[in-house]
Amino acid sequence: MPDPPKPSAARPEARNPRGFADRRARDLAAERAILAAVSAVYERYGFELLETPAFEFTDALGKFLPDADRPNEGVFALQDDDEQWLALRYDLTAPLARFAAQNWETLAKPFRRYAFGLVWRNEKPGPGRYREFVQCDADTVGSARPEADAEIIAMAAEGLAATGIPEGAAVLKINSRKLLNGLMASAGVAEEGQKLAVLRAVDKLDRLGEDGVRLLLGEGRLDESGAFTKGAGLDGAAAERVLAFTRAGAGRDETLNRLSNVIGGSTAGDEGLAELAGIEAALTSLGVGPDRAVFDPSVVRGLEYYTGAVFEAELLLETKDERGQAVRFGSVGGGGRYDDLVARFTGERTPATGFSFGVSRLAAALRAAGRDRGAEVRGPVVVVAFDQGRMADYFAVASELRAAGIPAEVYLGQSGMKAQMKYADRRFSPAAVIIGEDEFAAGTATVKDLDLGRALSAGVADNAAWRAERPGQVTVPRAELAAAIRKILDPRR
């Protein structure tokens, strides 16, 4: 029983926590289509499905230790009744590293696994950014070969195409953390804090442009709201060296040549160049051309666990929000090589590489671009509850339709027939079944094709005419009901 009405001050407000969105049937249908398409690609490449729990021990996830001042920073954490800290996973890679370390002896290696599921991040949400969202990952653990990276990139490219993104509307950008380290060496940046500041500045190139990044590499930048961001403190020559590095993107071969000129000679830089050359060769043999995957020295990605190649999937589709404003979705996925993550558990360096699709964001982007499949979700055939004393008969009709494989329901509200028709219309039902006194007496059923009515209603101005017309309505012998409805659902039969 519902509680009696309370004074409004005591009533809870019906609302979502910030960054947590309800997802209705049409949203989920779009997400499911993406997951199915991407999963099929992963399985074709020989990756096996793995599901791990939503919660992990906080220390297994990374740097957030139970005794840190703010255990909830970045993740949603709580203390179990045995006082151990647990946290909701913030991605699918850290749980994979835990799983691989835990089961290493029993796995066929290299271990190739894909996974999808919700992840949670306790941070400020923004447009297209939620605190709960779906990711879909594929990772290879136990191979240091650049071919492993190339294969991950090839799958990401195929996955993008499989979700319905048109040719040329998305591109994978590839870089290497080793190149970035080589760049630091050649620009004379040794101090860790300054390195991070330089990387962060480079990461913003697509958003702030070269001038903004130049400010961030130097003294700092004042944004339009009046907030000041402290810069990396490089001198002019060093800043220009960094910018020259970011400008080296061109064709894949040409990029490697140019990069070699900027940072060749440093150990890390040469290693990175060799790896990218290996990836380039493998990509070409996998049939992934420069139209789908390019080297882009400005790609940085996450700052902590990547050790080599890093990847980012960027959407180039023009998208608009409800108000017609252009929206940049930018990155819809990313990944890279993380050779040290499993070693956190085992002490043994275990090479690994992977890629993660941001499924929720990809779905939102496809919707905004008008590319999502099947926006409307079809409702069931509605059996009109015409005579409240005949509910048993209506349920028998619904059961009969269900047995025939046709989604059906009896209207269970209190409203009259007009409202019931409106209900069926709103559910986007294909048909309504009307059985009243006349039909019961005659042993018939009236079936109304609602799609046909939807189409015809546009041409009828007058209500009396609209009603008299009874568009798409037929009365058939009761025994032929299912067949009549099937004819509406699939006119080709």
Q: Does the protein bind RNA through residue 121 (CB under 7 A)? A: yes
Tell me the window of 118-126, 135-143, 261-269, 283-291 that interacts with RNA (CB under 7 A): 118-126
For residues 82-111, which are near RNA according to CB under 7 A?
A: 90
Work out whether strand 319-320 and strand 326-327 pair parallel, antiparallel, or are unpaired. Answer: antiparallel
Tell me the window of 24-32, 116-124, 266-274, 482-490 that interacts with RNA (CB under 7 A): 116-124
The one among 370, 416, 477, 491 contacting RNA by CB under 7 A = 416
d(CA 411, CA 390): 12
Map residues 355-394 to x or -, x wherever contact with RNA holds by CB under 7 A.
-------------------------------x--------
Q: Does the protein bind RNA through residue 412 (CB under 7 A)? A: no
Reduced 3-state DSSP string for the chain: CCCCCCCHHHCCCCCCCCCCCCCCHHHHHHHHHHHHHHHHHHHHCCCEECCCCCEEEHHHHCCCCCCCCCCCCECCEEECCCCCEEEECCCCHHHHHHHHHHHHHHCCCCEEEEEEEEEECECCCECCECCEEEEEEEEEECCCCHHHHHHHHHHHHHHHHHCCCCCCCEEEEEEEHHHHHHHHHHHCCCCHHHHHHHHHHHHCHHHHHHHHHHHHHCCEEECCCCCEEECCCCCHHHHHHHHHHHCCCCCHHHHHHHHHHHHCCCHHHHHHHHHHHHHHHHHHHCCCCCCCEEECCCCCCCCCCCCCEEEEEEECCCEECCCCCEECCCEEEEEEECCCCCHHHHCCCCCEEEEEEEHHHHHHHHHHCCCCCCCCCCCCEEECCCCHHHHHHHHHHHHHHHHCCCCEEECCCCCCHHHHHHHHHHCCCCEEEECCHHHHHHCEEEEEEHHHHHHHHCCCCCHHHHHHHCCCEEEEEHHHHHHHHHHHHCCCC
The one among 463, 490, 492, 493 contacting RNA by CB under 7 A = 463
Tell me the window of 42-50, 222-230, 237-245, 259-267 that interacts with RNA (CB under 7 A): 222-230
Tell me the window of 143-151, 186-194, 199-207, 353-361 that interacts with RNA (CB under 7 A): 199-207
| Residue with token string 């696994």 | 113
Q: Does the protein bind RNA through residue 320 (CB under 7 A)? A: no
Q: Are 257 and 249 a contacting pair, CB within 8 Å? A: no
The one among 116, 305, 311, 357 contacting RNA by CB under 7 A = 305
- Using the minimum distance from each CB to RNA, give the nearer residue, 13 or 81: 13
- Using the minimum distance from each CB to RNA, give the nearer residue, 373 or 467: 467
The one among 48, 68, 79, 127 contacting RNA by CB under 7 A = 127
Least separation in angstroms between residue 95's CB and RNA is: 12
The one among 436, 474, 476, 480 contacting RNA by CB under 7 A = 436
Q: What CA–CA distances, in Å, run from 352 to 98, 172, 195, 275?
A: 13, 19, 24, 14
The one among 35, 75, 156, 262 contacting RNA by CB under 7 A = 75
Least separation in angstroms between residue 234's CB and RNA is: 15
Tokens of 179: 């190149």
Tell me the window of 61-69, 139-147, 281-289, 372-380 that interacts with RNA (CB under 7 A): 61-69
The one among 74, 233, 264, 290 contacting RNA by CB under 7 A = 74
Q: Are 201 and 218 a contacting pair, CB within 8 Å? A: no
Least separation in angstroms between residue 80's CB and RNA is: 18
Q: Does the protein bind RNA through residue 419 (CB under 7 A)? A: yes
- Using the minimum distance from each CB to RNA, give the nearer residue, 162 or 306: 306
Map residues 9-48 to x or -, x wherever contact with RNA holds by CB under 7 A.
x--------x------------------------------
Q: Does the protein bind RNA through residue 289 (CB under 7 A)? A: no
For residues 225-284, which are near RNA according to CB under 7 A?
A: 225-227, 229
Q: Does the protein bind RNA through residue 69 (CB under 7 A)? A: no
Q: Are 220 and 234 a contacting pair, CB within 8 Å? A: no
Q: Does the protein bind RNA through residue 220 (CB under 7 A)? A: no
Least separation in angstroms between residue 127's CB and RNA is: 4
d(CA 258, CA 245): 8
Least separation in angstroms between residue 482's CB and RNA is: 18
Least separation in angstroms between residue 354's CB and RNA is: 12
Q: Does the protein bind RNA through residue 449 (CB under 7 A)? A: yes
Q: Does the protein bind RNA through residue 223 (CB under 7 A)? A: yes
- The candidate with the shortest Cα–Cα distance to 259, out of 339, 151, 353, 174, is 174
- Using the minimum distance from each CB to RNA, give the nearer residue, 15 or 46: 15
The site for RNA (CB under 7 A) is made up of 8-9, 18, 61-64, 74-75, 90, 121, 123-127, 200, 204, 207-208, 216, 221, 223-227, 229, 301-306, 386, 415-419, 421-422, 424-425, 434, 436-439, 446, 448-454, 457, 460-463, 466-467, 470-473
